[in-house]
A and B are shown apart, each in its own frame.
Chain A
């Protein structure tokens, strides 16, 4: 009986859970440029460096961050911040679209970096 209840609850939870967020944008030149613009306008480089390769804040272009975390986690970190750290949420100054543009730029930097390393 308990197993049945657990299964029902699990099924209900799964049904309620929204699909995980994924970056809806494609990495065309315009989107990448807009992402770079959002990066500069929001002052992200003050902590993460001009090209997001890390300063006092972590490198955001390496696989460790971009690939180890889902698009949704990256999106939520930028939108809501990380409690207890200097990373504030930018949801009040960047629209969701701008955050995805910014992520697109980061992902493009990641691709360029790996291509350059080959």
Chain B
């Protein structure tokens, strides 16, 4: 028996689901008490399509198909957030990057940890219901550029899905944690690894790949949710003769087999346009562009895909011929602004973009942080590059802004659709870069970097008007904000720091209203949900990932974070009575 669905659901479909739940509970001899065991009602397409209205739940990594990470819950708000206190915590039992976004379905939380683990716990108490640890190869760590983390799970029907570092995708029974299917989609010995949170669209589990710091060719896969069988695969680097294959120069005939183009951030989906939006990362080698002169399609792009076939409808490329490791893999948030359908994308290249999601046309771009690698945009939205900021074997590009991690690092931003405000975790850090010849050996790093010095900077959280791109407010901090962002109907924005502080801000002004020290750096993403009408806020804490900005170079960074304590704990907060 499983936890019961509560009567808090109000909409008609929810009542229907409740009736099923009660029926099942009665059949199984359990009472319809909220304190009783719970029934795992299947997660339906309808629930996923209406995830924004599932106020008690958090059904996918981005919370809804638009990827807003906005919850309408308002019991915790600007007036009472100071009374937020921890009510339970949960140890993952592993260290290193805790990059996850937890999910909540009807009182049960599904949360992944680093090193291939997943747990089901009672969302009101933290009591473990089951756990599963996927066995990992001993040497997997060196095949992952940026730590043995995981960004979250997906739910559909009676299953929960997650990807593992060694490129397995697993479906587990939500009730028991038993493995239903386990498929291998890549070869981890060639650094085809996985950290992505899957997205379920139309009965398919869509996943992306990590590994573009190594010579490999990456893709997006759609797997049948029932069986794990591959429905389609979309390589992000075209084979010879395919559209875009002429954008990789002429000096390396095999470059298409090794050109990178990772896909490790969860995409978004527009059911009205029936289009899946999924972003792609850097070409390989990262900083050495000598043998791949051209735009290097479809790296550093967002692909608009047919979700049934994986065919590319159109694309927009943020950084053609990337020689800075700007890695445009970040999320796309689908927003409807004054009748215009756009996607919003904060890129490591320093720009926040608004792109027409019906056709991929450039709308506007605004600086998140100081940008000097590009001096502007052509009318059709291509960046105008400053040649002095292009590193080569002979030219050390000095004070390139931003440094390789942004701008905006991968940690997802959030869009508040009521205030029309997008809140971006960011940083002001620049770097000196000298590229160098690279050596292509499968399973070995292939960076093309001779030297790099990161220049001391600082962190910031920026609120933007999503319509105009105007900066509304900026919060400065000693270090970059390294968590994802949550915005809520209580006019709050939650974000975390490398120092371990989990903070709440007034989304209208950026004023800090609340803070809690979690004991380790925060590199995961917050969520909020309710159980029995009580609102909870959750944040994973556990330092890790690639932090070149912290201590990479000799010119500074954030020395106070060197040897920052690792951790692996989920903290959950709720309001305490006055």
The answer on a CB contact under 8 Å between B547 and A86 is no
At the interface with chain A, which of B46-54, B443-451, B468-476?
Answer: B443-451
B444: nearest chain-A partner, CB-CB: A93
CA distance A97 to B562 in the complex (A): 29
Complex interface: chain B residues within 8 A of A58 (CB): 563
Residue from B97, B145, B551 within 8 A of A43 (CB atoms): B145
Q: Give per-residue flags for B138-150: 1 if the beta carbon is below 8 A from chain A beta carbons, else 0.
A: 1111111111100
Residue from A55, A56, A89, A93 within 8 A of B138 (CB atoms): A89
Whether B203 sits at the interface, judged by CB under 8 Å, is: no
Among residues 61 to 98 in chain A, which have CB atoms less than 8 Å away from a CB atom of chain B? Answer: 81, 83, 85-90, 92-93
CA distance A88 to B138 in the complex (A): 7
Q: A40-B449, A86-B148 are in contact. Are A56 and B544 (CB under 8 A)?
A: yes
CA distance A92 to B140 in the complex (A): 13
The answer on a CB contact under 8 Å between A46 and B138 is no
**Interface majority SS (helix, strand, loop, mixed), chain A:** loop
CA distance A83 to B140 in the complex (A): 11
Among residues 29 to 57 in chain A, which have CB atoms less than 8 Å away from a CB atom of chain B? Answer: 40-43, 45-47, 49-51, 53-56
**Interface majority SS (helix, strand, loop, mixed), chain B:** loop
B140 to chain A, nearest CB (A): 7
The answer on a CB contact under 8 Å between B138 and A85 is no
The answer on a CB contact under 8 Å between A53 and B551 is yes
B146: nearest chain-A partner, CB-CB: A46
The answer on a CB contact under 8 Å between B551 and A49 is yes
CA distance A48 to B404 in the complex (A): 17
Residue from A40, A42, A55, A59 within 8 A of B142 (CB atoms): A42
Q: A53-B551, A56-B544, A59-B562 are in contact. Are A85 and B142 (CB under 8 A)?
A: no
Q: Using C-beta atoms within 8 Å of the partner chain, give the interface range for chain B.
A: 35 or more
Among residues 106 to 146 in chain B, which have CB atoms less than 8 Å away from a CB atom of chain A? Answer: 138-146
A50: nearest chain-B partner, CB-CB: B552
Whether B428 sits at the interface, judged by CB under 8 Å, is: no
B532 to chain A, nearest CB (A): 38
A21 to chain B, nearest CB (A): 22
Residue from B139, B140, B143, B563 within 8 A of A59 (CB atoms): B563
Residue from A42, A47, A51, A53 within 8 A of B444 (CB atoms): A42
Whether B513 sits at the interface, judged by CB under 8 Å, is: no
B142 to chain A, nearest CB (A): 4
Complex interface: chain A residues within 8 A of B443 (CB): 93
Whether B213 sits at the interface, judged by CB under 8 Å, is: yes
The answer on a CB contact under 8 Å between A55 and B548 is yes
B160 to chain A, nearest CB (A): 25
Complex interface: chain B residues within 8 A of A55 (CB): 546-548, 550-552, 562
Complex interface: chain A residues within 8 A of B452 (CB): 50
B545: nearest chain-A partner, CB-CB: A56
B195 to chain A, nearest CB (A): 13
Q: A46-B145, A50-B552 are in contact. Are A88 and B140 (CB under 8 A)?
A: yes
Whether B413 sits at the interface, judged by CB under 8 Å, is: no
Complex interface: chain B residues within 8 A of A81 (CB): 138-139, 141
Central interface residue in A40, A42, A43, A83, by most chain B CB within 10 Å: A43
CA distance A88 to B562 in the complex (A): 20
Residue from B139, B543, B545 within 8 A of A92 (CB atoms): B139
Q: A43-B213, A81-B141 are in contact. Are A50 and B544 (CB under 8 A)?
A: no
Whether B167 sits at the interface, judged by CB under 8 Å, is: no
A51: nearest chain-B partner, CB-CB: B554
Whether B506 sits at the interface, judged by CB under 8 Å, is: no
Q: A42-B444, A43-B445, A59-B562 are in contact. Are A54 and B142 (CB under 8 A)?
A: no
Complex interface: chain A residues within 8 A of B142 (CB): 42-43, 88, 90, 93
The answer on a CB contact under 8 Å between B551 and A88 is no
Complex interface: chain B residues within 8 A of A92 (CB): 139
For the A-B complex with A40-B445, A43-B213, A85-B95 known, give 19 more contacts whose Cβ atoms are closer than 8 Å. Answer: A40-B449, A41-B439, A43-B445, A45-B552, A46-B445, A46-B548, A47-B546, A49-B551, A50-B451, A50-B454, A50-B554, A55-B548, A56-B97, A56-B543, A56-B564, A56-B566, A85-B96, A87-B141, A93-B444
Can you list 16 A-B contacts with CB-CB less than 8 angstroms, sorted by A residue number? A41-B445, A43-B213, A43-B445, A46-B445, A49-B551, A51-B552, A54-B563, A55-B548, A55-B550, A56-B96, A56-B147, A86-B144, A88-B138, A88-B143, A93-B142, A93-B444
